[in-house]
Amino acid sequence: MYVQLFTELYLITFPLSIFAIWNYGEFGPDVWDDEYPSCAGHYQSPINIRTACTIYQSFEPFHFSQDYNVSHNFTLLNNGHSILARYSPENNETLFQVTGGGLNGTFDFLNFHLHWGQNYKSGSEHQINSKKYAGEIHIVYVNRRTRQLAAIAIFMQSNRSIDLNETKNTYQIENTTLNEWKRYFSTARTLQYSNISIVLSLNLAKLMGNNFNEFWRYQGSLTTPPCTENIIWTVFKAPIIFTENELNSFRKNIFIEDYRGPQLLYNRTVYRNFVNETKLSISDYNCCLKDLKNYTNNFSIRQVNTNNFLFILVYVMENFSFLDLFL
Considering only the stretches 5-13, 116-124, 131-139, 201-209, report the one whose residues sit in contact with Zn ion under the rule CB under 5 A.
131-139
Q: Which is nearer to Zn ion, 161 or 223 (CB)?
A: 223
CB of 287 to Zn ion, least distance (A): 25
Counting Cα atoms < 13 Å in the Cβ hemisphere of 211 gives 21
197-202 vs 55-56, strand pairing mode: unpaired
CB of 251 to Zn ion, least distance (A): 17
Considering only the stretches 88-96, 130-138, 246-254, 293-301, report the one whose residues sit in contact with Zn ion under the rule CB under 5 A.
130-138
Q: Which is nearer to Zn ion, 3 or 139 (CB)?
A: 139
Buried b (16+ CB within 10 A) or exposed e, 148-181: bbbbbbbbbbbbebeeeeebeeebebeeebbebb
Binds Zn ion (CB under 5 A): choice among 132, 138, 237, 272: 138
Q: Which is nearer to Zn ion, 138 or 272 (CB)?
A: 138
CB of 204 to Zn ion, least distance (A): 16
CB of 234 to Zn ion, least distance (A): 13
CB of 304 to Zn ion, least distance (A): 32
CB of 148 to Zn ion, least distance (A): 17
Per-residue three-class SS string for the chain: CHHHHHHHHHHHHCCHHHHCCCCCCCCCHHHHHHHCHHHHCCCCCCCEECHHHCEECCCCCEEECHHHHCCEEEEEEECCCCEEEEECCCCCCCCCEEEECCCCCCEEEEEEEEEECCCCCCCCCCEECCECCCEEEEEEEEECCCCEEEEEEEEEEECCCCCHHHHHHHCCCCHHHHHHHHHHHHHHCCCCCCCCEEEEEECHHHHHCCCCCCEEEEEEECCCCCCCEEEEEEEECCCEEECHHHHHHHHHHCCCCCCCCCCCCCCCCCEECCCCCCCCCHHHCCCCHHHHHHHHHCCHHHHCCHHHHHHHHHHHHHHCCHHHHCC
CB of 191 to Zn ion, least distance (A): 17
CB of 115 to Zn ion, least distance (A): 6
Looking only at residues 212 through 231 of this chain, which bind Zn ion when binding is defined by CB under 5 A?
Answer: 223
Q: Which is nearer to Zn ion, 50 or 138 (CB)?
A: 138
Q: Please, are residues 7 and 36 in contact by the beta-carbon 8 Å criterion?
A: yes
Examine residue 260 and tell whether it contacts Zn ion (CB under 5 A). Answer: no
Q: Which is nearer to Zn ion, 52 or 235 (CB)?
A: 235
Looking only at residues 31 through 50 of this chain, which bind Zn ion when binding is defined by CB under 5 A?
Answer: none
Q: Which is nearer to Zn ion, 49 or 288 (CB)?
A: 49
Q: Which is nearer to Zn ion, 233 or 315 (CB)?
A: 233
- Name the residue with the smallest CB distance to Zn ion: 138
Q: Please, are residues 103 and 80 in contact by the beta-carbon 8 Å criterion?
A: no
Q: Which is nearer to Zn ion, 132 or 138 (CB)?
A: 138
Looking only at residues 54 through 113 of this chain, which bind Zn ion when binding is defined by CB under 5 A?
Answer: none
Q: Which is nearer to Zn ion, 209 or 220 (CB)?
A: 220
Residues of the shown chain interacting with Zn ion in the complex, contacts defined by CB under 5 A: 138, 223
